[in-house]
Homo-oligomer: A and B are copies of this chain.
């Protein structure tokens, strides 16, 4: 934390941006979920298919299964997608509310 000791008499006097700060982190977090080509493709895939087994996602991407699993974990932690266990498989689907939240936050920029 930079604590400037140098005198700063009359430069800034604007405590106007408090709600800004709150949504800034939320937007950053959601944007970050989509800030990787592989994750963009996963999100698009889930939107277009509405539901998708993990194996299909892996087959769709030029990445190793473990890497795709990592991206899925990141997307799940961000709340953008959800995964339901279905026997030995896992069925992922988009979380519409989170996606809408991202859309709104970006649109209201």
Contacts and interface: CB of A to CB of B under 8 A. Distances in A.
B24 A28 contact: no
Interface string A81-109: 00010100001010000010011001101
Tally of this chain's copies: 2
Contacts of A32: 31-32, 35-36
Interface of A: 1-4, 9, 11-12, 17, 20-21, 24-25, 27-28, 31-32, 34-37, 39-41, 43-44, 47, 49-51, 53, 56, 59-60, 62-65, 84, 86, 91, 93, 99, 102-103, 106-107, 109
- A-B pairs, top 5 by smallest CB distance, nearest first, are A32-B35, A24-B40, A35-B35, A31-B35, A106-B106
